[in-house]
Amino acid sequence: MLIRELPAAVAGRVRSGENGCSSVPQAVAELLANALDAGAHNVVIRLNAEELAFTVEDDGHGLSAADLQHFGRRYHTSKLSSVADLQAGVSTLGFRGEATSSICSTAHVRLTTRARGSFETLTKTLRGSSSGVVASHVGPSSLPLTRAGTIVEVTQFLFNQPVRRKQATQQPRCALALATNLTKLRVPAIPAPVRLKLDCAYV
């Protein structure tokens, strides 16, 4: 996998026109789609609906050190590189390079990953700010993973959008119900070899 910035012409054509990931179910769906695109066979989703915190853990191919540098940047993706790719058809669940940057711009995010074929575990922490997404740490992880894969931990979701956050925290049961319903999450049917585990908490 090689994450790179989309050319302006391609970014203009794939721009969704939506207001990013503005709900827990939508954000969880996007991270789940990334896990499936990474070839994961096992995915664990942990959700605390009241705290608007969630984690998506997978055993996919993970991210290299070079890819990690680009994680969280808008219009950076490994799934599309040219207009020709777009015209030929996109086979992945996600390809615009908008979702992760949208999540990172409205939350505190920590990604821990180990690339397939590597023995090194890396981590990156990001958070949204008035100037965009800011990375506060990129480098080796103090907690090594025992196999290839990626863990994305999201806390303080919508911290810089107080109205939306208040609305979301006032309806935790709704968010919980949506997050456990793959149809409403707008994720296609999970491939047969993939095992999905949902661990949802409402305190």
CATH code for the domain of 40: 3.30.565.10
Q: Name the range with the highest mean pLDDT among 2-6, 90-94, 182-186.
A: 2-6
Overall number of domains in the chain? 1
Q: CA–CA separation, 63 vs 121, rounded Å?
A: 10
- Average pLDDT in the 119-127 region? 95
* Domain interval for residue 49: 4-201
pLDDT tier for residue 9 given thresholds of 50, 70 and 90: low
Tens of pLDDT, residues 71-106 = 887 766 766 555 555 554 555 565 455 678 889 999
Predicted structure pTM score: 0.81
Residue 117 structure tokens? 């074929």
Tens of pLDDT, residues 41-68 = 999 988 887 888 999 999 999 999 988 8
Backbone angles phi and psi of 133, in degrees to 5: -80, 130
| Contact between residue 118 and residue 64 where contact means Cβ atoms under 8 Å apart | yes
pLDDT for 193 beyond 80: no
pLDDT for 203 beyond 50: no
